[in-house]
Each structure stands twice: as C-alpha cells, then as structure tokens.
Structure 1
C-alpha cells in the first residue's frame, strides 16, 4: 500500500546479484508510476525510466531541457510504487563532474537502483538522431569517476552510455567503452548499435554487463530478447514503447470522439475500472481504512 515494501538498498542488492548471473533482464520503460505497476504485474525483471519519455510527458523535446529536480522527482514516484529495480536516464549528469556527483546522490535518495551517464556534449540530443556530438575521452571519464566516487551504496549501478559509434564508428565505441569501464563503470550502454554483430563486438570488448536499447523508429534494428541474449546482452530496454502505444491509442480515441461522438465501440480496448482498481490495490487500502474502499466493481462492459 502506498509504496513498495522492499527498501531501496535491498532492491539494488538483489538487482546486482541477478545481473551477475548473466541472464538477460527485461526493463520496459514506464511513462508514469501506474505503468510501472503494470510492468511488475506482468512479470518483468525491472523498470526503465527514459529521459525522452519524461521530456515528452512535459511537452518538451529530448534535448537536455529537463532538470535534475524533474528527473529525480519522476524517478522517485516510479521507484516507490514497485518492488522492481528501476534504472533512470540521467542524461549527461546535469552539468560538470561535481554536478554529476550530486546527481548520483540525489537519484540514490530517490530510491533508484541505477542510472546511466552519457558522453554527449551538453545539451544533448536523442541518441537516435543525426548530428550528435560527444565529449573527449577525458571529459567522459571524469563524469563516470565522479559518479562512482559519489555513490554511497556500492550496489547503486553506475552505467556509462556512449554515443560515439554514430560519430566515429564501432572501433571508437569499443575503445570508449573500455576506457569507461577502467574509470569504474559497472555497465555499458552502447547507443544506436545497428546490428547484432556490433553488440557482440562491444560484448567482447568489455567484461561488464551491456545494455541494448530497442527503441522503435531509431537506428537499431528491433531484435528479440532471444537474439540479444545470444550475443551476450544483459539488459534490454524498450524506453518509449508504452508511451507510444498509449499515445497512439489516445489519438485514435479522440478521432472516434470527433467522428462518432462517443467511445462505445472502443470499450474493449480500454482498461476496465475493475482492472485499474485491482492494479491500484484498493483492497489493501481497505484493510488499512475500511472507509476508503467499501464497494465492488463488476467486469460488465456497458
């Protein structure tokens, strides 16, 4: 009720233990706390919180306009309602290395299990757009070192994201990934890989877990979990998928309202009130205070 029952440090410890097994972990992107509850209900291993989704939710493009306060606030909202570990997109760390240090401690306090810091210039842009630019290796290393040194919980996952493949090629990405691991990164997020062979090359280059970003309409082919596991990927995210599905459905519903004046024909596409209340766990609130939940909802659609 109200929040997860597992303390943040225990989520982090359990997550790191499972990550160490080498199995591939599935982290769909949650666009709000309720969707995180649904991801948990469906049996996934974790929740991802995308900077692109948070930007879009605020009506902003993903070009570094969001603040640490906004990102940490949404991360806390999501992390507190699920027993799953949550990894959050921390962009370039919101400033210089000292800012990166503060970012990591703030995200720790928000209950996140980990975060990734990228090597784009600040302000950044979506990783699957052309025209990206990355910082030099020294700057990228300073960001990761600051993140690692700032954390207080050794199980908080500091992941280094590198966008350099789209700028200087795969060999540069391999070299950058090695340097970031040497700087202390617990995992590597090679952005905009175009093939399974490229993921395999990064896997061969480093001895820490790697993440695959399966975002639609981007540079990467949409590989299956099985394909990614076959080349040694340890975490796969679908960062914007649920938001895209929800917005697509909302778009069609609004068109139906314009055309027909009602949504009677789309009731079967909606989450039923009873399913929503079950997901929100109204009955648990009733055990706490019978004045909150004292009714039943039938599953009839009328």
Structure 2
C-alpha cells in the first residue's frame, strides 16, 4: 500500500484522508470509498484512553492499533508517530515496528516531549538540526523504500513563520517525502507555503474543527498546491455529540424511542463488519 500511496501523491489531485483510531473507524472509512486513512495520535488518545493529545500514548500502543487496523482494511495508512517516541535511535525502532505492523507512511513532528496537539498553545520544538538527524534515521531504518516519511514542523506557533519555512526547507533537503507546516494562521501564509514548496514536494494540511486553519475544504487546498487534506478528528467530533445526546435521553427517559429511527440495529452492524463472510469461511473447516 505504500507504493500505491506514493503513486497517488505523484498526481496533482488532492487526497482527502479521514482520521481513524480503531478497526471500526477503519472499516467505515474503507466502505465509504476513501483512498487512504490517517491513524491520528490525537484520536487514538481520545477514543481508546479518554485522554487529551499530550503525548500520553506509547509506541507499543500505537503499533498495536496499526496492526488491528491493517487487519481490517487494505487502504494506504498514514500513521502519526508524534516525535518518533524519542531520539534518532528510538525513531529507527519506531519505523521498524510500525512498518512491520502495516504502516504505509509515517508522519513525524519536531516538537519537544511532552508534545501536544498542534493547534494548542504551549508547544516547544527541538532544533532543526536534531529533526534533520531524526529524518535521516527514519529513512535509513525503512525496510522498504516505498514506505514514506512525512516531516511536520510545529515551529510556526513557537518561533514564527520564517523559522517554519526554513525548517520545511531543511526537512525537504533531508529527504522527507512530504512536508507539513502545522497551523498556518492566514490564507497568505498558506499561499506562500504552496508557492514555495507545492511544485517540489507533496504538502499536507490539517483541517481541524475548532483549529486555526484559514481553509475548510480539500478543494481549497488543491487550489493552494497542497496534496494531502487530513481530517484527523472529524469522525470523532461528530460521534461525540451524537453519543452525548443519546446518553442524555436514555438517562432522562429510560428508553431511546425518540432516536430509534436514527439508529441501526445489530443485524446491520454484523452485515457491515462481514459476519456472514466469516461464518461462511468457518464452514470449510467443519468435519464430521
């Protein structure tokens, strides 16, 4: 799937990539017809652990999730590896482990641990030189050259726009397969990023509800010379208020009759997840 993703990024069309966090969300994205999925570190922290995106999830926990998702979908999978979970040597082990688990691309950022969501205040960044070393370490650690390494800089919100551009330039020169300047605050900044880098390397952008992005759609990103439109938390941002509404009604009324027409039932879930196919497959192993 890494080779497939690489070919997609060679075109000029923008790739819309929803964020996922488990087998069910992966299955839903696959069935909806998307061409790739993004394992969001934030959403994994939100959904599995009920924690904010503050670097609390371990590499082993993410790798386990990658393996679970890969079992449920053949889609190219971009995996958020935060800071690489340590120094350059840790990055190499992370790349080895996640590649074996089924990652197609690994997205690494230049934050200082403990990291936090890219749209939160209080971030810190490592030196650009240290990040360049980590990019080289990641590239050297790949088992397959088709596995993509994406480099994200969070420097804009820490050191300003010019430093973010300089870092992006260095990360491109280091061999990153895509560049991600996190949290631009204006359309002018995004135009500058697109004009400077868009013809040289695929550009990534986060479309986070409540974040700082000045654009809201994949079509706008395509016009700005970007190639990957990440919607990292959109699925959860819709599911959470829906779940809260259901729980409020259940607690208040003791039933869900008013919501029944909005709900699916167990048979639909089984159909969605392929229960009949599994049962049919099991019959070939039945012997008298």
TM-score bracket relative to the smaller structure: over 0.9
Is 2:26 the counterpart of 1:33? no
CA drift of 1:271 comes to 3.0
1:196, 1:231 within 8 Å by CA — same for their partners in 2? no
2:21, 2:65 within 8 Å by CA — same for their partners in 1? no
**How many angstroms apart in 2 are the aligned matches of 1:196 and 1:80?**
39
**How many angstroms apart in 1 are the aligned matches of 2:187 and 2:135?**
26
Corresponding position of 2:152: 161
Corresponding position of 2:96: 105
**Moved >4 Å (runs of 4+):** none
**How many angstroms apart in 2 are the aligned matches of 1:291 and 1:257?**
43
Corresponding position of 2:167: 176
**How many angstroms apart in 2 are the aligned matches of 1:78 and 1:222?**
29
Could you list the per-position Cα deviations for residues 242-261 of structure 1 after superposition, in whole angstroms to 9, with x for gaps in the alignment?
11211211111110012111
1:12, 1:155 within 8 Å by CA — same for their partners in 2? yes
1:76, 1:111 within 8 Å by CA — same for their partners in 2? yes
CA drift of 1:286 comes to 2.9
Corresponding position of 2:41: 51
Give the 3-state SS of the residue equivalent to 1:289 in structure 2: helix
Structure 1 alignment gaps of length 5 or more:
1-10, 293-302
User: Out of 159, 177, 185, which is 1:194 matched to?
Assistant: 185
Could you list the per-position Cα deviations for residues 61-92 of structure 1 after superposition, in whole angstroms to 9, with x for gaps in the alignment?
21111111001111111122112111111010
1:278-289 alignment runs, 5 A limit:
278-289=271-282
1:174, 1:201 within 8 Å by CA — same for their partners in 2? no
Give the TM-score of the pair, scaled to structure 1.
0.89
Is 2:237 the counterpart of 1:237? no
1:96-135 alignment runs, 5 A limit:
96-135=87-126
**How many angstroms apart in 2 are the aligned matches of 1:119 and 1:149?**
18
User: Out of 76, 84, 87, which is 1:85 matched to?
Assistant: 76
**How many angstroms apart in 1 are the aligned matches of 2:157 and 2:49?**
28
1:214, 1:221 within 8 Å by CA — same for their partners in 2? no
CA drift of 1:22 comes to 2.1
**How many angstroms apart in 1 are the aligned matches of 2:88 and 2:102?**
22
Corresponding position of 1:271: 264
CA drift of 1:194 comes to 2.3
Corresponding position of 1:260: 253
Could you list the per-position Cα deviations for residues 231-250 of structure 1 after superposition, in whole angstroms to 9, with x for gaps in the alignment?
11101111111112112111
1:79, 1:85 within 8 Å by CA — same for their partners in 2? no
Structure 2 alignment gaps of length 5 or more:
none
Give the TM-score of the pair, scaled to structure 2.
0.93
Corresponding position of 1:18: 8
**How many angstroms apart in 1 are the aligned matches of 2:180 and 2:264?**
34
Give the 3-state SS of the residue equivalent to 2:86 in structure 1: coil
**How many angstroms apart in 2 are the aligned matches of 1:232 and 1:279?**
36
1:31, 1:243 within 8 Å by CA — same for their partners in 2? no
Aligned residues: 282
CA drift of 1:150 comes to 0.7
Q: Give 1 or 2: higher helix fraction.
A: 2
1:159, 1:185 within 8 Å by CA — same for their partners in 2? yes
Corresponding position of 1:71: 62
Question: Is the alpha carbon distance of 1:211 and 1:271 closer, same or farther for their aligned partners in structure 2, counting shifts above 3 Å?
Answer: farther
